[in-house]
């Protein structure tokens, strides 16, 4: 008798899905490369994209949809950062790139559906994609680039900053803001004076509304006295040091000439007086005056990653290649 067995039908692989998987694998490499100094966050995100890429190769429809969702959310976050005053050209480029990748993964998912790919359970994919993106509607990630807030914040600390809803700012709070002299730069300092407060600083000691401020977080690197740094507002008629650039001098002089009453700096409405915890090594309100309400971004709430930089790890003898040193004791430290 003739053999009537029907031969198995070969599964047709979608070329578009293969391209999408290759693109996702390249993303994994780029995430790890660009996040080398933030290994914890980079590894988590890279792991998700890697699992998604493998899922696409295994013809799982929702693996492709999840990667599309992730890219869509990232484009939306880019628009939020643009609204917050971030660099225009890089953010627009990142948004356009994310939308193009979103389209690629979306088309790959549709191609997998047409080729009878396994649809799978959407919930885990959607939940994880949301975890990597949705919280950043309310939070922003910032890195601590200088030692002006040591030892509260160290160089290489990665911070989550609450930006929405806009938190109320009070005395002694940490706050992130646009640097008033150059709004493309972002600073983090501690609020010493809120509107209406009277601030005076004598020989490194801060007085607020006539009372000495308890500052257990402050460190002093230099024991010698510097009247320009350690006394605010300082001698009558004092103006800003000549070594500061013109914009800083103008802002500092405005505070010293128009907001000093009876030897105290009076914080005007809608303004804040801020200082760095590393008091002898901080560019703050002593030099450029007040932070305006409109320049406030938010309050740090968590250190989610912390890596010693090559400067701190190797003390200037930076090797060509180095493994970042994670400060495990600072991970997920609530501020």
Query: Which of the following is catalytic: 148, 152, 282, 285?
Result: 148
- Catalytic residue from among 14, 45, 152, 189: 189
State the pairing for strand pair 264-266/198-202.
antiparallel
148 catalytic per annotation = yes
Total residues found in the chain within this entry: 335
Tokens standing for residue 49: 């994209």
Long-range contacts for 228-235 (Cβ within 8 Å, ≥24 apart)? Answer: 229/280, 229/286, 230/201, 230/202, 230/203, 230/204, 231/201, 231/202, 231/203, 232/199, 232/200, 232/201, 232/265, 232/286, 233/200, 233/260, 233/263, 233/264, 233/265
Residues with Cβ within 8 Å of residue 147, at least 6 apart in sequence: 154, 155, 278, 281
DSSP one-letter code for 213? P
| DSSP codes joined into one string, 111-178 | HHHHTT-B---HHHHHHHHHHTTGGGGTEEEEE--SSTTTTTS-TTEEEEEE-SSPPP--TT-EEEEE
- H helices of 207-295, where? 227-230, 246-258, 285-288
Report DSSP state, residue 271.
E
In b/e form, how buried is each residue of 277-288, taking b as 16+ CB within 10 angstroms?
A: bbbbbbbbbbbb
Residues noted as catalytic = 148, 189
């Amino acid at each position: 008798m003739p053999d009537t067995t029907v031969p198995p039908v070969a599964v047709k692989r979608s070329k578009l899905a293969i391209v999408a998987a290759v693109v996702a694998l390249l993303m994994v490499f780029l995430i790890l490369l660009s996040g080398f100094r933030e290994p914890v966050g980079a590894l988590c995100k890279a792991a998700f994209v890697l699992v998604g890429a493998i899922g696409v190769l295994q013809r799982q429809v929702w693996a492709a949809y999840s990667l599309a969702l992730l890219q869509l959310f990232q484009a939306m976050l880019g628009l939020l950062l643009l609204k917050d005053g971030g660099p225009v050209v890089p953010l627009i480029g990142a948004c356009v790139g994310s939308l193009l990748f979103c389209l690629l993964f979306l088309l790959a998912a549709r191609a997998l559906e047409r080729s009878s790919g396994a649809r799978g359970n959407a919930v885990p994919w959607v939940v994880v994609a949301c975890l990597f993106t949705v919280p950043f509607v309310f939070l922003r990630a910032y890195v601590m680039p200088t030692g002006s807030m040591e030892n509260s914040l160290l160089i290489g600390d990665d911070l989550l900053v609450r930006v929405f809803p806009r938190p109320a700012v009070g005395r002694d709070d940490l706050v992130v803001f646009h640097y008033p002299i150059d709004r493309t730069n972002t600073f983090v300092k501690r609020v010493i004076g809120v509107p209406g407060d009277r601030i005076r600083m004598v020989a490194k000691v801060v007085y607020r509304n006539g009372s000495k401020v308890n500052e257990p977080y402050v460190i002093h690197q230099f024991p010698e006295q510097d009247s320009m740094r350690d006394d605010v507002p300082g001698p009558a008629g004092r103006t800003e040091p000549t070594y500061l650039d013109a914009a800083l001098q103008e802002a500092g002089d405005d505070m010293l000439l128009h907001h000093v009453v009876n030897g105290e700096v009076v914080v005007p409405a809608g303004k804040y007086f801020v200082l760095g915890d590393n008091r002898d090594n901080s560019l703050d309100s002593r030099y450029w005056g007040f932070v305006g309400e409109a320049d406030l971004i938010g309050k740090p709430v968590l250190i989610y990653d912390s890596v010693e930089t090559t400067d701190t790890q190797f003390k200037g003898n930076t090797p060509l290649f180095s493994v970042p040193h994670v400060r495990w004791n600072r991970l997920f430290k609530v501020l």
